[in-house]
Structure 1
């Protein structure tokens, strides 16, 4: 285990990390693109505190962040100040601080990479389902919530389209409903990506400073989901067509696992191209396509590769062939 000596006392680290996390989380209220992007990093200071300085400092940072967000909501709200502050803190704890500290603790305890990714997918799915559940409870039922979202989104879509002529058979209300149904699964998938990127950044920073409490794992050969996730994913894909809140819950789980399989597929590409003269150009092309073009079929392709890895062990086959070639 790395020596965790620091020139900063633990209370100062907890206070600084908590305030930084609260500040980044608060930026989302400005609704600018840059602020929203920075808000995605709000779990990073908590993960840094947990991984680099231990559970006590990480939990202290989480408490500071929650208290800061609650106080900010209390002082900024004109009416219902106490409720606004408590709501902001609850959202932060459930969607960001809780998963961030939990996953960081698992990393510190030396949990296998696939277990961390699997539990991160479960946390992300819980966040997506919570959004659907809160909307359902708030508007008095699942379909009542959909009708409410339709009523808000349809005029917005009409304003965007303006005088443009729509193709025959295109109904803006159906598009609005499709967007409403796609939102919770999209939140689940993006939450998983956000959690894992922040965890990777925090672990890399801790490693660079000599504070990482475990050896750095070989991600191309280990990153993935537990094998049990493949049948769960298949079952959820089928159950998603049930409709209603149960169908949406299944779609949320499927979306979270799909993102996990896509990341596993990307790790497979890294592993299979090791030692190849074309590795650099291939990986460059892959990342440019993912972050610049981002076609949906390309993400689907990586999901397929991740599932193939689960079923036939592409990386293990590659390792065996390399070992046989060296004999």
Structure 2
């Protein structure tokens, strides 16, 4: 359930979490990353930790909400312009789907894009493998190689992917989870893995009315809040933490100065959280920053792609220009 900030003022809760510290199931580097974020002056956690099995399902539910415009707006762009996009990508390519989730977006484009090889990439291995098994029955003519990779840092593709005609696909607004500097670094990693005969088809959320943005990330029935708070349960599993989800609430708002939506979880009462190798006392009202979602202008994102080494050769938007899909190729000297 999503609790408003005014509701947080009325909550009376114990000073310490009564939840026991559990066994950590993450590897040492994962636990170290989580610990460093929780101990920072402004506590934060990478949004990649949203996506355990339940988190992936909750995000699917978010995309069905009337307030969450990105999915349906992007879908309308694909419905209207996918044939034109296919002229830029060409048939028979290797389609690398970054942050593939349930693979539904890519699968809806298979008849027009006609990939020979589909490589969905996601951090949630079990969820991804289940999605690919269902797709293999529907599209037996397409070779499929699911990859469980963390895309928040440098990544390398295994030999079975093949080096020719790599077409990266990064729909949705996930590029907005990176700061502009991080986005350039990420896109440079993509460029390094693309090859001279490949490209990138990417979705970009555009700047729009702030009320529309705020509603999309703080829906009235609380699905986004559940998605945000579920991250705490995932941290309990990975780092052996003892987060009590009832002591936290969801907070989301548009930061106009930074041109980004921010999501946080906020402590409803002072209490101490412990995890493998660390602990922190959170005061009432203190927040853990869980996600940014940057919003761009078309020209601003073109400039970002250029700095990352890409050249934009196609842009498609909806009538209201709430969202854009761009195709880019590796820039040559």
Range of TM-score over shorter length: under 0.3
Instruction: Please identify the structure whose Cα radius of gyration is greater.
Output: 1
Greater RCO, 1 or 2 (C-alpha within 8 Å, sep 6+): 2
TM-score normalised by L of structure 2: 0.25
- Structure with the largest fraction of strand: 2
Q: Which has the higher helix share?
A: 1
